[in-house]
Amino acid sequence: MNSNLDRRHFLRGAGMALALPSLEAFSAPTAATVGPRNFVAVGTLLGWHQKAFYPKQTGMAYDMPATLAPLKAFQDDMTVFSGLDHRAVNNHAGWPNFLCGAPLKTYSLDQIIADQIGQKSRFPSLELSTGREAAEGHIAMSFTRRGVGLPRMQQPSVLYKTLFVSSEDRARTESILQSGRSSLDGLLADAKRLQRALPLADRNKLDEYFDSMRAVEKRMGRQLNAINDPIPRPDYQLPSSVSLEPSHQIELSDILYDLMALTLETESSRVLSLFIDGGGQVFSFDGKALGTGYHKLSHHGNSPKMIADLVAIETAHMRSFSGFIKQLKEKKNAHGKSLLDDTVVLLGTGMGDASRHSNKNLPTLVAGGGFKHQGHVAVDQSKKGSPLLGDLYVTLMQKLGMEVDQFKHATSNMNEVLS
């Protein structure tokens, strides 16, 4: 194999620096992987409605609750945890406990991981958010060792440009996206030369990767073009507290998940976090607007109608998340291992019950990572010595090959439950 090819991980040209997926031709024959190498955290500001998130049965043979229904195909690839929390301060301001534990706004789980394994990639970590920040202001999810909250990329186009476009040609690339053409066009000649030097399996993998890139570009082009579309006006009267700005949050989430999968496939970053915001967005499903904003629905006061609408939003978010899990399961690394097995995926929140501003019993799901998944694990917090959410985090870090034995005031692990 040509020594230049061994070191080559990018195609360059036309303002693009396209990272390539992990290929056999770039990997040493002895570079077999042991355990997962990536970490993804997804957190919702407004939590997940517990009764629609938690299965009624424990173990592997549980019936999918409403919110998790989109994940039915991946039931064997994930574990749902109920009864876990950080025993942190119990109010809305305590949301950052999701990845920080207690005390709040200190070194977060994703940044602890990034500081140990993230340096092996172009970007030690990437922090993302679904659209504009909530009305109450910036609520950080990721914090550095010194407790500094990290800003987030809020638009898919920003992440796309960060990953694939040179700073000198970003305006041109956005124009290309809106036109429906592909930024890959300028790289095809270089790509064809590369493919001729690769084994068949790598050539097929590159074809799949380029197809994925084009699909994401088309979706981004539609989203960029829609920015200037007339704002639709619904036929109902919104409460005065709800913004009239239409929500593109689900569409934005779909594109961000696509780009996150490409980020992991190209090994551009091993540590990703996605914050699902929750402001006054008004959602429409099947052509019918809900009539009440996302944040207000989270304060449902046990109203059956409001809970049903809230669960509809959360299920739509879970459908987007399911598409991400599907991509990770289908994509392979250079050693034939699925990206899902190569990635520890944590989905959760710092809000156990937004209607009561409770940070207890935080809905938590772990997918992938090569774990022997256990279905639904219900933790009884009334028992002395019952595990904390931080104990689960210790297990996740150890699975990633980190030598740790505690997370904040959690000093054990859940290895006997999830191994």
For the chain, give the longest Cα–Cα distance: 67
Q: What is the pLDDT of residue 228?
A: 44
Q: Summarize the confidence of residues 120-140 as an average pLDDT.
A: 74
How far is residue 64's CA from residue 72's CA, in Å, rounded to a whole number? Answer: 7
Q: What is the pLDDT of residue 198?
A: 77
Q: What is the pLDDT of residue 187?
A: 66
Q: What is the pLDDT of residue 318?
A: 97
CA-CA-CA-CA torsion sign (233, 238, 243, 249): negative
Q: Which of 271, 254, 248 has its CA nearest to residue 400? A: 271
Spatial contact of 369 and 36, defined as CB atoms under 8 Å apart: yes
Query: Band of the pLDDT at 140, cuts 50, 70, 90?
Result: confident
Phi, then psi, of 367 in degrees rounded to 5: -125, 155
Query: Band of the pLDDT at 244, cuts 50, 70, 90?
Result: very low
How far is residue 186's CA from residue 296's CA, in Å, rounded to a whole number? Answer: 48
Helices (DSSP H) in 266-303: which residue ranges?
294-298
| Burial (CB count <10 Å: 0-12, 13-18, 19+), residue 29 | exposed
Q: What is the pLDDT of residue 235?
A: 34
Q: What is the pLDDT of residue 234?
A: 31
- Summarised one tens digit per residue, pLDDT across range 8-61 is 456 665 555 566 676 766 655 444 457 899 999 999 999 999 999 999 999 999
Task: Report the range of poorest mean pLDDT among 88-97, 189-198, 238-247.
Answer: 238-247
Q: What are the angstrom distances between the C-alpha of 32 and each of 321, 331, 342?
A: 29, 17, 12
Q: What is the pLDDT of residue 84?
A: 96
Where exactly are the structural domains of the chain?
46-164+248-399
Q: Look at the domain 46-164+248-399 and name its fold.
A: Alkaline Phosphatase, subunit A (3.40.720)
Query: Band of the pLDDT at 159, cuts 50, 70, 90?
Result: confident
More confident residue, 177 or 104: 104
Predicted TM-score (pTM) above 0.75: yes
